[in-house]
Structure 1
Amino acid sequence: MLQIIQRKRMNLTLPRNLHDSLLKHAVFLSVCLPETVRDTFLVDPAVILIVVGVVMFFITFCGCIGALRENIRLLKTVKFSFNTLLFAFLSLMLPQTRSALEKFARKAIVHYRDDLDLQNLMDYIQKEFKCCGWNSYTDWSWNLYFNCTRENPSTERCAVPYSCCTPVPGETVINTMCGFGVQTQKYLDANKSIYPVGCADRAVMWIETHLLLVGALTLGLALPQVRKPRHTCRVCMGGRTSRRHQKGLTACWRSRAPTE
Structure 2
Amino acid sequence: MSGKHYKGQEVSCCIKYFIFGFNIIFWVRAFPRRSVFILPLRESGVLSNLSSITDLGGFDPVWLFLVVGGVMFILGFAGCIGALRENTFLLKFFSVFLGIIFFLELTAGVLAFVFKDWIKDQLNFFINNNIRAYRDDIDLQNLIDFTQEYWECCGAFGADDWNLNIYFNCTESNPSREKCGVPFSCCTKDPACIFLKTLTYFDIKLQRTYIHVKGCVPQFEKWLQDNLTVVAGIFIGIALLQIFGICLAQNLVSDIEAVRASW
Q: Measure, in 2, the Cα distance between the counterparts of 1:174 and 1:94.
A: 44
| Residue in 1 that maps onto 2:235 | 218
Change over 3 Å in CA distance of 1:86–1:151 after alignment to 2: farther
Are 1:65 and 2:70 an aligned pair?
Answer: no
Q: Deviations over 1:220-251 (max 9, x none)?
A: 4545676777766777788xx5xx45257x9x
Matching residue's letter, 1:200: V
Q: Deviations over 1:189-227 (max 9, x none)?
A: 51x211111111111100001111122333345456767
Q: Measure, in 2, the Cα distance between the counterparts of 1:120 and 1:209.
A: 26
The answer on whether the counterparts of 2:180 and 2:204 sit within 8 Å (CA) in structure 1 is yes
Q: Measure, in 2, the Cα distance between the counterparts of 1:59 and 1:202.
A: 33
The answer on whether the counterparts of 1:129 and 1:202 sit within 8 Å (CA) in structure 2 is yes
Matching residue's letter, 1:167: K
Matching residue's letter, 1:148: C
Q: Deviations over 1:62-112 (max 9, x none)?
A: 212333343356765665566556546644896121111111101100000
Q: Measure, in 1, the Cα distance between the counterparts of 2:161 and 2:183.
A: 12
1:159 equivalent among 181, 186, 198:
181
Structure 1 stretch displaced more, 170-179 or 54-63: 170-179
**CA apart distance, 1:135:** 0.8
Structure 1 stretch displaced more, 205-214 or 216-225: 216-225
* Unpaired stretches in structure 2, ≥5 consecutive residues: 1-47, 55-59, 83-88
Secondary structure, in 3 states, of the residue corresponding to 1:121? helix
Matching residue's letter, 1:201: P
Q: Measure, in 2, the Cα distance between the counterparts of 1:157 and 1:123.
A: 18
Secondary structure, in 3 states, of the residue corresponding to 1:212? helix
The answer on whether the counterparts of 2:95 and 2:246 sit within 8 Å (CA) in structure 1 is no
TM norm structure 1: 0.61
Secondary structure, in 3 states, of the residue corresponding to 1:201? helix
- Root-mean-square deviation over aligned CA pairs: 3.9
More helix by share: 2
Are 1:199 and 2:216 an aligned pair?
Answer: yes
Q: Measure, in 2, the Cα distance between the counterparts of 1:93 and 1:131.
A: 24
Are 1:42 and 2:52 an aligned pair?
Answer: yes
Query: Which has more radius of gyration?
Result: 1
Structure 1 stretch displaced more, 55-64 or 108-117: 55-64
Pairs within 5 Å for 1:83-162:
83=103, 87=107, 90-91=110-111, 95=115, 96-162=118-184
* Unpaired stretches in structure 1, ≥5 consecutive residues: 1-37, 251-260
| Residue in 1 that maps onto 2:259 | 246
Q: Deviations over 1:3-56 (max 9, x none)?
A: xxxxxxxxxxxxxxxxxxxxxxxxxxxxxxxxxxx8664349xx64x3443122
The answer on whether the counterparts of 2:99 and 2:246 sit within 8 Å (CA) in structure 1 is no
The answer on whether the counterparts of 2:178 and 2:201 sit within 8 Å (CA) in structure 1 is no
| Residue in 2 that maps onto 1:209 | 226
The count of residues paired between Structure 1 and Structure 2 equals 200
| Residue in 1 that maps onto 2:11 | none
Higher relative contact order (CA 8 A, sep 6+): 2
Matching residue's letter, 1:209: D
TM norm structure 2: 0.60
